[in-house]
Amino acid sequence: MRIIPAIDIIDGKCVRLTKGDYDTKKVYNENPLEVAKAFESHGICHLHLVDLDGAKSKHIVNHKVLERIATNTSLKIDFGGGLKSDNDLRIAFESGAHQVTGGSIAVKDRPTFLGWINTYGSDKIILGADAQDEKIAVSGWQEASNLELVPFIKKYQKEGISYVICTDISKDGMLEGPAFELYQKILDKTKVNKTIVGPSGVEDIEKQGIKLIASGGISHFDELPRLAQIGCEGVIIGKAIYENRISLKQLENYILTC
């Protein structure tokens, strides 16, 4: 399971919110590059970078922060927040994003999001499926929708999406543990039969599913092996690192022993 620390950006600074509420903003570091370099120095290879200003403004804002981190580290960055147009996507990739996450766009402008999948491929486009009471939320979680979480994911799975980030909003920033049951449900419901051909040419049926990245509520190191056990491909960790609930040394040791 990939370890993916999170850096959320407002006004160019590293912040965290609680349940997506901008009024709960807490600044942890005014230099996101410094934070990213600390992650890298402990053997971490991936970063989840969120442009919260962009999510609110509905267009990319903090691409210069992305560019600085991409230029000065070797981290593979998935970038999200405010990506609403082909131009936003172009700027993100040109600024150094390895992958991009589309959440609101996947709900509000399905043709454009499908165009991104077709143009860049499913390895570059992550579906952001963030939910409250298993209903999809959009616009930086400021708006609710009537879309059911699992059918929403399955619909895009049929279109080729393989990477999915799911945040249970009620857990985000609460340091009370992740939504284990929800992630198990998603993984169970999205498994499909795939025909594979072995070296001898014999066909077999194998159950395959999405690459689910858990996000929200991580509070202690012991939760990570459990997420890996149920089948999560990655886990995004934010406040637990910044509040010293999980140390970078623990994450370094976890990566080395995987």
CATH (domain of 142): 3.20.20.70
Q: Is 53 a catalytic residue?
A: no
Q: Which of 8, 53, 78, 88 is catalytic?
A: 8
The catalytically annotated residue of 51, 53, 88, 130 is: 130
Q: What is the pLDDT of residues 105-141, one digit of tens each?
A: 999 999 999 999 999 999 999 999 999 889 998 765 5
CA–CA gap between residue 99 and residue 248 (Å, rounded): 23
> Which of helix, strand or coil describes residue 241?
helix
DSSP β-bridge partners for residue 192: 208
Residue-level pLDDT at 142:
62
Tally of structural domains, the chain: 1
- pLDDT of 143 reads 65
88 is catalytic: no
Does the pLDDT at position 206 exceed 70? no
Of all residues in the chain, what percent carry a pLDDT higher than 70?
Answer: 91
Domain of residue 96, residue span:
2-257
- The secondary structure of 165-198 as a DSSP string is EEEBTTTTTS-S---HHHHHHHHHHT-EEEEEE-
State the pLDDT at residue 22. 87
